[in-house]
Structure 1
């Protein structure tokens, strides 16, 4: 089978298109013929060596959608999707023509989603789902999502709207504000961190109950915009991993910080998440993804380089 593979880390030149034997599923596993695979920034970082536990050589890739060709009889021939912490790091991932994983690690693909659309959602939507769950976003929660135009931010505002939360989307550019408003979301344009509190309080008197910072740069400013007993969920940090946290202000508000890391969840846990929010696409509660850049697997090296350079398109590799 054709696959992308790297045998060392440090630069993207390590990634190659190779021919590998088609994997054989073990007992309790499935063999999935991959129809589409998402390319996430974490896949690029994996090749660059940002995940020291990755074993080599390795086929990268976490998100996929495809058809089960071997495994339990009730799954053979089914269209499925999946993601999780093992694949691409501790066992070969989805940037190939086939993948093996636990039979409990795949979920039936929503019929409303194409293979490419399903493959674009794994990491962003499981991350957003986990953030909303663990920061206790329910009906009526006043939620601020910083970076609401990104993949995870978009997932968060879509899922929060279904939960009945009061959503305030924060983005950098005026045209992004207009686009969100056209979709029915309340939105603000981010300025300086010290001004965030006034912007949020103009919408949510007393502050936001939950602030989800998808960028990693707004933690200090978010504390001042937080309501008493509020929660701040974070998924990223500056390159050096350090921020200046106004701890006095945080504890005076009774606030808490919730770290969100999708790599804490294996394929079986992720499959349960996919089952829960996947039905929201079939009943039209959540809009279908659009604007995907579909690319042959053989052109994956170029797509990796574009994502590494900050390309805005959501890339889908097609074996």
Structure 2
């Protein structure tokens, strides 16, 4: 099979297409012919050496959608999707013609999604669900402020929050693009980095002086002070990233007097099997079209895989997909 590979860290130019042996299923694994695989920011960071635990040489790629071609007989020909915190890091990933996965990680793709659409769900919606539902326990009628709402994770969190019956406030440098799910879901948008707007004060005003019960900070670092200040009494803040700086100062007196909780969520801790369990929870929402895939900006074939990574590095708005 052909696969995108790297044997040292760097920019997209360290990637090349190589011929590898076709994978063969064992009693515990299955082989999926990859029809589409998205390129996520964590894939770009992985190739750059900014992620922990990567074993080289490696085929990158976390998210995928495809067809089972080898493995359990009742799965042969099934259309599946997947993601994981191990794939592309300690085991070869999805930016290849075929990928090997544990048999118990097989998850049927929602019928309402084509392969391209299904391939852009994994990381964004799994970490969105992990943070908003499992970690913060977002409840009906609560208000959530989503920092980074125009990005992939933020757009997923907005949809998950609306399905939970929450009020959704979006915060970002620019508003979600017209026609995107987030643009149609958020109740109010608050611009970040606008010198005329005090983000915490505006969120406090929009919540009648209370603040948000939950803040999902999909940016982190540069946004942390404003995100913390936007919380209601006993509010919960979820952090999944650290942009610009990994160190922030917290006023401890304010922290304990307001009884706020700072929580971390890391989808890298969920392997293919654990991620498949979350995809099974998400699938009915897509089957009912209650959740929508994030917009796809560009698609590339495998030969132009490095160009796909370069497009992401250039901050192209929308998802990037490789079709092996």
Please report the TM-score for the alignment, with normalisation by the length of structure 1.
Answer: 0.94
Q: Distance in 2 between matches of 1:235 and 1:29?
A: 30
- Gapped runs of 5+ residues in structure 2? none
Q: Distance in 2 between matches of 1:108 and 1:175?
A: 30
Distance 1:182 1:239, change over 3 A: closer
Which residue matches 2:86? 86
Q: Deviations over 1:253-288 (max 9, x none)?
A: 100111121101011110011011111011121224
When the two structures are aligned, how many residues end up with a matched partner? 319
Find out whether 1:210 has 2:214 as its counterpart: yes
- Gapped runs of 5+ residues in structure 1? none
Distance 1:184 1:72, change over 3 A: closer
CA shift for structure 1 position 127: 0.8
Which residue matches 1:154? 155
Q: Distance in 2 between matches of 1:126 and 1:193?
A: 35
Q: Kindly indicate whether the alpha-carbon contact (under 8 Å) linking 1:223 and 1:249 is maintained by their aligned counterparts in 2.
A: no
| Aligned pairs (5 A) from 1:1-319 | 1-133=1-133, 134-173=135-174, 183-190=184-191, 191-192=194-195, 195-205=198-208, 206-216=210-220, 217-319=222-324
Root-mean-square deviation (Å) = 2.0
Q: Kindly indicate whether the alpha-carbon contact (under 8 Å) linking 1:67 and 1:77 is maintained by their aligned counterparts in 2.
A: yes
CA shift for structure 1 position 11: 3.4
CA shift for structure 1 position 25: 2.0
Please report the TM-score for the alignment, with normalisation by the length of structure 2.
Answer: 0.93
Query: For structure 1, which segment, 12-21 or 63-72, has the greater mean C-alpha deviation from structure 2 after superposition?
Result: 12-21
CA shift for structure 1 position 220: 1.0
Q: Kindly indicate whether the alpha-carbon contact (under 8 Å) linking 2:149 and 2:182 is maintained by their aligned counterparts in 1.
A: no
Partner of 1:53, secondary structure, is coil
Q: Kindly indicate whether the alpha-carbon contact (under 8 Å) linking 1:177 and 1:188 is maintained by their aligned counterparts in 2.
A: no
Query: For structure 1, which segment, 285-294 or 150-159, has the greater mean C-alpha deviation from structure 2 after superposition?
Result: 285-294
